[in-house]
Amino acid sequence: MIPIVKPGEERFSALLQGRKFDLEKVEAVVAEIVNAVKRGGDRELCAITARLDGVEIEPSRLLVTTCEIKDAYTLVNEDFLTALRRAAENIHRYHRRQLRNSWITPQPNGAVLGQMITPLQRVGIYVPGGKASYPSSVLMNAIPAAVAGVPEIVMVTPPGKDGSVNPYTLVAAAESGVTKIYRVGGAQAVAALAYGTATVGKVDKITGPGNIYVTAAKRQVYGVVGIDMLAGPSEVLIVADDTARPNFVAADMLAQAEHDEMASAILVTPNRQLAENVRRELAAQLAGLNRQAVAAQSMADKGLIVLTADLEEAFAVANYFAPEHLELMLADPYRWLGRVSSAGAVFLGHYSPEAVGDYIAGPNHVLPTSGTARFFSPLSVDTFTKKTSLIDYSPAALQQEGRHAIVLAETEGLDAHAKSIKIRMEDHTQPGDETVNYVSANSNRRRVSKDQSADYSSINNQGLRDLPGMQSLKPGFGDLHKDTKAKKTNRTGQTGGNRPESIDPDGKDDRDEPQL
């Protein structure tokens, strides 16, 4: 039976210590795999897949074909397609709100400063596979990349023993903007994405969760490519008061526990009666689960009920734990929301189970785990973009500011730095017409009155794609709607048979063309 403890007791401290990443035990094995693929390319990629996964596959069959995508649609039911497209619309709508603006700001001295936001050019998403199917993981990784405007979204996923990829995974990929799919997984797939092979092109960034070998491989290739985060076992922490229903609390704890034996499900409450009732409810609900053995092991090893003096202490415990998922089953959750400092996602109230965040709500379910919510954020559009600083100095601005830069450069003993500024200041004889500033845009320099607004912004939508389910989201697969009777969706979220008139054949909306 799950124990009831107080903060600071040995079981609570042991649970916190047990959340540390233990990647060292597989580091040597993973390093051997990564280096083999780096040296041997496709040959080693396929050989390692045969040896470790028991799947014999030739390099020519690594890439999933268009015919396989179309066949996958015949193997899934309409209820799944309806649910998948609803989830995709919600995820797309939420992540559209995350798009940032590039900006340019003329300075009073004649300089022009700014920041340009551009999408990464090629990203790789890892989706667990084999016997399992995780279409939701496909949506959560691919759609933010598509919203960011990433031109190439490459997916890797382990195949089944017969070399096929789960049809639900394939349909999710086609619906969410993936441009290529490779039937390979494990640390070898991560290495292929990082270093490239003759078949699998090198990417700029790798995202998506996997097992300990995948996570260790991501850590090893970081620096060669970017990664999203290092994902550990899933976890939920529920802060509840006397208004919480024990059956709701128990159901949410077991929903987390069924992930795997390492998952953590924790209730933190100042109400002892609730704690006792939840403990009884857990035993009753556990008996009816399909994954009863997994959930039971998780609750025995990683489950906990923490009894605090009050809600203040409960939130101190929650912030110290920094959970992946934080549920606030409170009478007034918004009153306490400001006390939350570290959590991947917060679920407010009694009717916001963590499972809606996994599938349908819209916010991303790829979240920091193992206490890393103290410094990591959920996967988002920002994950797939990069920021570039813009600096444009006029002769007058350099005359005004250059001497200070020279002092700092000479202080650091970098005389060539100082000279690169001096040579321009000495060559300048006339500062020019100081009644105008110059603003650069798309390499065309134009004059702007000093009276004009000092801020120029443009939405970052370079290559921005349309809502999931539209042809422009599936450039690698063509228009599958004719075969699947898929509903097309416009930018307002309304369904219809035609694309918006303002969208060009290339999938871009002229109304949103970037100014930079």
User: Dihedral through CA 482, CA 486, CA 492, CA 497, nearest 10?
Assistant: 40
Our answer to whether residue 412 is catalytic in this structure is no
CA dist., res. 293 & res. 382, Å (int): 39
Coil/strand/helix, residue 33: helix
CA dist., res. 510 & res. 470, Å (int): 17
429 φ, ψ to 5°? -105, -40
Coil/strand/helix, residue 117: strand
Q: Which of 325, 327, 350, 365 is catalytic?
A: 325
| The residue count for the chain | 516
Pairing between β-strand 385-392 and β-strand 304-307 as defined by DSSP bridges: unpaired
DSSP one-letter code for 513: -
CA dist., res. 382 & res. 101, Å (int): 12
Structure tokens that stand for 146 in this block: 């598509």
Q: Which of 324, 327, 350, 354 is catalytic?
A: 324
Our answer to whether residue 324 is catalytic in this structure is yes
Alpha-carbon separation of residue 227 from 29, 218, 223, 256 (angstroms): 20, 7, 9, 25
In DSSP notation, 240-307 reads: E-TTS-HHHHHHHHHHHHTS-TT-EEEEEES-HHHHHHHHHHHHHHHTT-TTHHHHHHHHHHH-EEEE
Beta pairing partners, 268 = 239, 306
CA dist., res. 388 & res. 214, Å (int): 30
Active site (catalytic) residues: 324-325
